[in-house]
Amino acid sequence: HRTGYLLVLVWFAVWWFCCVLEVCRLKKIHNQRIHRPTMEMSFNLGHPANRLVSFKRHKWIHKEDAPCSPLEMAKAGFVATRKDCAVCHYCKKELDYWEAVDVPWNEHKAHNPECPFVKYYATPPDQVLVIDALRLEKDRLIYQAELEHKKNAAEIEKQREAIRAAMEARGKHGKSKKKA
pLDDT tens for residues 139-170? Answer: 999 999 999 999 999 999 999 999 999 998 88
Structure confidence at residue 50 (pLDDT): 86
Which of helix, strand or coil describes residue 96? strand
Q: At what angle do helices 130-172 and 2-29 cross, to 10 degrees?
A: 40
| Cα separation of the two ends of the chain | 82
pLDDT digits (tens, 9 = 90+) for 59-104: 898 888 889 999 999 999 999 998 889 999 999 999 999 998 999 9
Look at 27 and 116; give whichever has higher pLDDT.
116
Q: What is the mean pLDDT of the chain?
A: 78
Q: Rounded CA gap, 124 and 89, in Å?
A: 14
Is the Cβ–Cβ distance between 116 and 143 less than 8 Å? Answer: yes
Which residues are paired to 87 by β-bridges? 79, 94
Residue 125 banded pLDDT, cuts 50, 70, 90: confident
Report whether pLDDT(10) > 90. Answer: no
Task: Report the range of poorest mean pLDDT among 9-13, 102-106, 149-153, 175-179.
Answer: 9-13
Which residues are paired to 86 by β-bridges? 80, 95
Q: Rounded CA gap, 178 and 70, in Å?
A: 71
Closest CA to 44 of 17, 16, 68, 79: 79
Structure confidence at residue 102 (pLDDT): 93
Residue 36 banded pLDDT, cuts 50, 70, 90: very low
DSSP-based helix, strand, coil % in the chain, nearest 5: 60, 5, 35
CA atoms within 13 A on the CB side of 161: 6
Which residues are paired to 78 by β-bridges? 88
φ and ψ at residue 2, rounded to 5 degrees: -65, -35
Sheet (strand 85-88) strand order: 78-82, 85-88, 94-96
Q: Given 1.10.1170.10, 1.10.3720.10, 3.40.190.10, 3.90.1150.10, which CATH number is that of 42-171?
A: 1.10.1170.10
